Amino acid sequence: MADLNHKILDGLSEKQQTAVTHPLKPLLIVAGPGSGKTRVMSHRIPWIVNNFNVNPYEILAVTFTNKAAKELMDRTRVFLPNTSNAVVKTFHGFASYFLRIEGHFDGLDRAFSIYDDTDQLRVIKNIFEELDLNVKKNNPKVVISEISKSKNLDITPSLYSKKANSYFEEIVSRVYLRYNEILSNSNSCDFDDLLLKTKNILLDNIDVRDKWSNKYKQVIIDEFQDTNPLQFQISNLLTNNEKSISVVGDPDQSIYSWRHAVPTNILEFKKSYKDCLVVNLDESYRSTQPILEAADSIISNNSNRFKRKLWTKNKDGNLIKYNSYSDEEEEAVSVASQLSKLTETNDSANDCAIMYRVNAQSRVFEVALNSLGLKYRLIGGVRFYDRKEIKDILAYCKILINPNDDSAFERIINCPPRGIGLRTVNKISLEKNITNKSYISFIEDCMNNENEFLPKRSLDAIREFMNLYKKLITQLSIQEPHELINTIISITNYDDYLKNDEDGVERLENINELKYSAEEFSASSDSDNSEALIEFIENSSLNSNVDSINEDEESITLITLHQAKGLEYKNVFIVGMEEGLLPHSRSMESEEELEEERRLCYVGITRAKENLFLSSSNRRRFQGIYDNAIQSRFLDEIPSKNLIKKSKYKKYDESWKKTFEKKQNQSNFKDTEIVEVDFSLGDKVTHTHFGTGKLISYRVLANDIELAIRFNSPYGMKKILKEKAPITISSPEETKDLEDYYGI
């Protein structure tokens, strides 16, 4: 025991040891970037097992990604191999695990399905059609976002309906009610439901709450600054009478308010657990002093934060390099060129990352890297489990374990094509909704009663599908998941279906990868075949983009700043550091949102271990039109002693520009500063038809000036010729603010 304790504490700083050895009492660890928080958590678990008479399975550790969960377990096993019995899951993973056991208290069968973003969108669009709602006037994705927000605020459809006081809210109210009905009838949950139902069951059932709070003698929550109100409530409800809970977080890295995260949860934790010990880990083991000073200097401009300063023993280090380019294409070529030199020397491509604010920025860098033959991995493209062929096969699996999953049914009923068109599906949908039954249940009843509710041709196709479905059902218990997937492909002729696709070979390779993944999963599972399939589908549903990073393959990482959280690289390029991008234009009118943008910049900077490169463009293209850009205010917040600035560059060979789209948009461009015009960017524009708007950008043509104007809803962005259009231009009464040029 003493030997193991010595091993656990060896190499830890005094503050880290304090956190690791704290008794089973409330503990708040405020951990800066690179301060060893994962190390502290992975040492605390074996310490608790070795010193406090706690079994590994009596510890619940919650992380935000499967990757982080795996890393935590791998580190923990170094000290105690049997700590693999500790429950380490994501919040949604734990909620799913909990609901498989206790979901019946909320009307869920243990074989319930989890609807991802694609499933949600399909259901919502169907509801729009059912309710005769105009998709163009009411964006389904915006409606989904509003429903998600309501669930996270614990606002039920009935409560939402009562507070609705606008046309939009009235629409959401109707859709929300029907959406929940469909989920309930389909024995399904969306991601928000996983948390909401878990919270409700724990809150409403004392016996269940006692059972689970007594089950865990220690609850550990990672990235606590990113928890939302539901997650905080669940954490509290799982805490035993001894209040044995440890949370780890950094309020300076709270960047997910759009996911309903509440950075003040750390402050609330101190209020809820007044006797908690606070340990501030402020020594960074990742970054050099110049990088840390830059990060600290930027984040110190936020007022709503814990006052602290990161430090490191690594006093030496390269200064940060800042480059200013003429446009985003020159920026991309230069960054690619620098990366080529880095990877030609001693640096691995895996040590390099390009980080940006929005996904749309990746395109020019992909082109530039390709032109130099540099391999890259794009984080944020189409995820493996989001690919059509993968979702098709998994939908077949879902309908086998959960016949009430109507979303899965709609996906596969005519995939591969079997003569069952949308009109037929809609007719079945209308009929089955009257009976409040699932597709499968309704069709089975009709077949048994010889109810010919469809034309003979359609009915024959439906019968063929049901025969196929019954054949697959017989294999559910006798085949392992990978074997069942193979049977699905064979019996449906899905492989022949893909052969007619131009990307068929690649899609078949993806399916083979799915089979391999299922086989690996089966090998590590002790469950019977049906249960293993449930677990495999659940695992597939909960996988994230960052979880899919393959670090064995040598390639440069292209990633958004949001996705980069928790990662680190020797060489980091943060690009597009301009007003309107970083900070994003949507944050300009809100101090809270601007502070979150600053935290996002802070996160990006602190991903760098040795070398940090920052860049901006003097002009940037929006919807094919160039506009002047202003360097980010965050650059001005970096001490000049830490920064090497360059703004004059030799022009690169521009032959590469042929590979970029819409080059014709540049052909008539003239530098705006040498053109005499009688208006300014940001001016108010009044059009006789489109109403009022704001001048976003312009370009000079041979005989006229083309204006890009963002008009008020519903017209949006328009390009018009100044001399021919019925417009008046006037200076705005207030100081101009940047518009939301770029979007996400």
Residues taking part in catalysis: 37-38, 222-223, 253, 607
CA angle 179, 182, 184 (to 5 degrees): 110
List residues bridging with 581 in a β-sheet.
584
Q: Name the 3-class secondary structure at 696.
A: strand
| Cα 361 from Cα 366, distance rounded (Å) | 9
DSSP letter for 485, please: H
Q: Which two tokens stand for residue 85?
A: 């019995």
Q: Positive or negative, the Cα torsion across 283, 287, 293, 298?
A: negative
The helix/strand/coil state of 132 is coil
Helix, strand, coil percentages for the chain (3-state, nearest 5): 50, 15, 35
- In a 10 Å sphere around its CB, with 0-12 CB exposed, 13-18 middle and 19+ buried, how is residue 669 labelled? middle
Q: In whole angstroms, what is the distance from residue 32 CA to residue 184 CA?
A: 42
Pick left, alpha or beta for residue 703 (phi over 0 → left; psi -120 to 50 → alpha; otherwise beta).
alpha
Nearest to 333 by CA among 615, 621, 56, 668: 615
For residue 64, give the 3-state DSSP assignment.
coil
How far apart are alpha carbons 710 and 733 in whole angstroms?
17
Instruction: Indicate the SS3 state at residue 366.
Output: helix
Closest CA to 614 of 184, 314, 320, 297: 320
Q: Dump the DSSP string for 281-344.
A: E-B-SSS-HHHHHHHHHHHTT-SSS-----B-S----PPEEEEEESSHHHHHHHHHHHHHHHHH
Q: Is the dihedral of CA 674, 679, 683, 685 positive or negative?
A: negative
Distance of alpha carbon 524 from the chain centroid: 27
- Starting at the edge strand found earlier in the chain, the sheet holding 277-281 runs 87-90, 59-63, 218-221, 245-249, 27-31, 277-281
d(CA 469, CA 451): 19
Q: How many CA atoms lie within 13 A of 443 on its CB side?
A: 26
Report the C-alpha gap between 650 and 658 in whole angstroms: 19
* Tokens 């020019």 -> residue: 364
501: tokens are 């696709």
Neighbouring C-beta atoms of residue 72, cutoff 10 Å: 22
Alpha carbon of residue 44 to chain centroid: 29
